[in-house]
Structure 1
Amino acid sequence: MIGCNHSRTVCIQLMNLPRIARQKCLLNQIRNLHMVERVRTVNLYKDDRTPKIRGRHYIYRTIENPNPSPAEIQVLLTDHVDGLGIMGDIVTVPKRLWRNFLYQAQLATYPTPENIVELSHEMKALGDDAAILKQLGKFSRITLQRIRGLNLPVELMPSKTGWTLTKAHIRIALRKVGISATDDSITLPKDPEIKTPGEFIFTLTMNDAVSLKVRGTLVERPLVFVEESPADKVQVWDNPPVTPDEELNPVIRKFLTKSAIDLDAFRLKPPKRPKVHNPNVDKQILLRQANR
């Protein structure tokens, strides 16, 4: 028999039920459900008789729950969540992340048909801006915020006549700082002929949706080994953006100026609270032990 840790009276009342009613009886205990079975089975008995329950029949062993509650849940994102999805996506997340963060921050809801229809109406009201946000990926905000403050060092061999900047130079330089880009996403400056080392401006397009002007610095590669090359002296990240916020699309401006969401901080388990010992309670325990 499969049951729960209930009192002897409840178990006797359950055994007194007819067999069909006993099979349909579900014993649920919220948040403290234990699936157990009898170590020693009850002897056979007739339907019109009461089974003889002895003390040995109240010994149970715990068994595995055949239908455990799922540890994850599907949610409908109502806003862009970095590293998880974009607005309108249905994603599967741990229940702890949904309960402690996504639901409280109003970033997601249950994927019911009513909520899906309501969210689709909101996205239609945005018009073409919703299509642009949909085209961006789940890591787009973090990437675009980093690219805005990028000062890309481009190393070229020394030349007395100057250099002709190509897309391959910028693509290789981006790869060195951890950004993968194609030649189609790179737009060279109007005058690619550079006479002296220094700064230049080029355009980088992400997912054919958002184009940003990026600062680059052309430096000469030393012919001999040095501990600190000219490229190492360039501040690569956290520079002032080339494109001001006023020149951006209002939707893209709101999308970029909003701080990124760090989900890793919520996935980590909270630290355990240290146990605080009450000296008054400790004294009472010592007095009780002394009186014994």
Structure 2
Amino acid sequence: MTSDSADRTARFGPIGIWSSALHQPAPGDAARVAEAVAELDELGYGTIWVGGSPSVEEAGSVVGATRRITVATGILSIWQHEAPAVAEQVAAIERTAPGRFVLGLGVSHDALTPRYARPYSTMVAYLDALDAAPEPVPARSRVLAALGPKMLALASERSAGAHPYLVTPEHTAQARAALGPDALLAPELGVVLDTDLDRARTTARTMLSFYLGLPNYTDNLLRLGFAEDDFTDGGSVRLLDALFALGDADAVRARVDAYRAAGADHVALQVLHHDPAAGLPRAQWRELAGAFSLSGSA
């Protein structure tokens, strides 16, 4: 392991949790979310990725409810938050919890953002603004939600690395080649802990169907060799099995090993449940902590 790789592992850990349920909890749920993220910290996960396009302030609530763990936005949309205000908010977190917050940035999607235009150039300008702020956000404290070659190269040049979403081990290998050896590569991986594979695929399709309407993702999947037919009816079996870890904890561990072998430093697990009303999947988070022998799971 190189010193750079060891530093990345020390900061982010090999395994993290990605959850959009940590974003904008209802007023009555704030205490429950705080208790859940505190447990993730104690279980030994390396990073909590607050999904669902959170603000810095929302992610800061997770920082405040934890002691050790790195907390990252996964991701903050550059269209929704002005860079000078973001830099000021990041600096405030840094003063209270040094080194524990990472600003994950992304360009979101045309269908979700009325202002969407020239995403690459806009990201470059946003990074320039973060650098020019009175209290700049250092490159080591930000990552980009990069999928294609240009954004991956930018992630390597202007940030700590890349946090790709909805990708395969094959994409991870390509991303590692584009980033070079010294940048963080932290892909998200959807997980369904269900040994009934038909039901597990149904659960995965429920999540995937939304993303298959977003060209940034489908274009990336087409580059990886999938076909338009793979996008019908919520995703083909071939596509589902490539994008998700389905089955028991051993199956999840094997899939994570595939991403790590392809060049990932860290894998952010997004646990999905067949019952959307089931709440935070804390039992599954505990099971996975044990499966990966994390430090607090004994």
TM over 0.5: no
The structure richer in helix per residue is 2
Larger Rg: 1
| TM-score of the pair, normalised by structure 2 | 0.23
Tell me the TM-score normalised to structure 1 length: 0.23
- Higher RCO, 1 or 2 (CA under 8 Å, sep at least 6)? 2
